Amino acid sequence: MKNIISVLTLLITISCCGQYATEITVDQTGHGDFTSIQEAIYATKAFPEKDITILIKNGVYKEKVTIYSWNNRLTLVGENPDSTIITFDDHFDKINLGRNSTFHTYTLKVDANDVSLKNLTIQNTSGPVGQAVALHIEGDRVQVINCQIHGNQDTLYGAGEGFRQYFKNCEIDGTTDFIFGEATMVFENCAIESKANSYITAASTTQTSKFGFVFIGCDLTKSDESINKVYLGRPWRSYAKTVFINCEMDSHITPVGWNNWGSAEKEKTVFYAEYQSAGPGANDQNRTTWSHILSKKEAAKYQLNNIFGNWQP
């Protein structure tokens, strides 16, 4: 009854005098406005003039969540990243929609601009069964703060030519190509954990994009000691760009650092680089000849105001 009353109150607020709720609470125990994250998103105003925040109480929310393009200016805030969990288990073979099934496997998909995700765990629990996305972003000016993103192959997909996506203080893990896509993505002070001998990134940066994936002050770790041959990246498309700045690399990073995905031609068009890598996986002397070790002057351009232009997260 209490939950019904709160929902009615929310609906009255939305309908009265053209106003709308700018703060909504999701609580599985029934003490909020909704018990489902997706139901709360359905209730938000399309193309709002003011920011809208959905507060998500602790719990395991097994649901496939979409933030639609008209749900811009929306923030999802969890109560605690360890215990506010959005989870689902779709994967390529389960979806079975042809060669592009990967893009339907997400647990949480962001199609809107100006979205923030904070203090959440977003996971795909299908296991090591092939492509299975946890977080899929197709919006510009999206920021992900203090979140845990768990999966195996293809954990995190950043889409959209020139779209800007920012990750800070996040934990991201996976096996193969677990950070991939064409968006301009910056990862600052994040923990990047490999769960198998494979590839961390698979950028598909477009030829006209100045920046692809940029990792700043991140820790590259491994889930166990048996992992000893992980590449920093391989090019999903010919103009892939990936740069690591001031990152700590464990011993699982292979000395050559980068892989050409079986194409010597891509060695001529990709841009893979590092600056002041540290730790047992850092190896300036033995990196592949077609990657770059940046000078201090070259590294200086990898500042947020330069990468993101008129948007500062």
What's the pLDDT score for residue 75?
98
What's the pLDDT score for residue 19?
85
Domain ranges of the chain: 57-307
Q: Read off the pLDDT of each residue in 210-219 and give the average, rounded to a whole number.
A: 98
Annotated catalytic residue 177: yes
Q: Read off the pLDDT of each residue in 210-239 and give the average, rounded to a whole number.
A: 98
What's the pLDDT score for residue 17?
38
Mapping DSSP to helix (H, G, I), strand (E, B) and coil, where does residue 48 land? coil
Q: Read off the pLDDT of each residue in 240-264 and give the average, rounded to a whole number.
A: 98
276-299 pLDDT tens trace: 999 999 999 999 999 999 999 999
127-174 pLDDT tens trace: 999 999 999 999 999 999 999 999 999 999 999 999 999 999 999 999
Helix, strand, coil fractions of the chain, as percent rounded to 5: 15, 35, 50
Annotated catalytic residue 154: yes
8 A C-beta contact, residue 188 and residue 212? no
Q: Read off the pLDDT of each residue in 185-191 and give the average, rounded to a whole number.
A: 98
> Catalytic one among 27, 173, 177, 250?
177
- What is the residue-averaged pLDDT of the chain? 95
What's the pLDDT score for residue 18?
58
Does residue 42 carry a pLDDT above 50?
Answer: yes
> Catalytic one among 33, 90, 140, 154?
154
Does residue 185 carry a pLDDT above 70?
Answer: yes
CA nearest to 312, candidates 266, 248, 304, 41? 304
What's the pLDDT score for residue 10?
54
56-109 pLDDT tens trace: 999 999 999 999 999 999 999 999 999 999 999 999 999 999 999 999 999 999
Does residue 5 carry a pLDDT above 80?
Answer: no
Does residue 213 carry a pLDDT above 70?
Answer: yes
Q: Does domain 57-307 have CATH number 3.30.420.40?
A: no
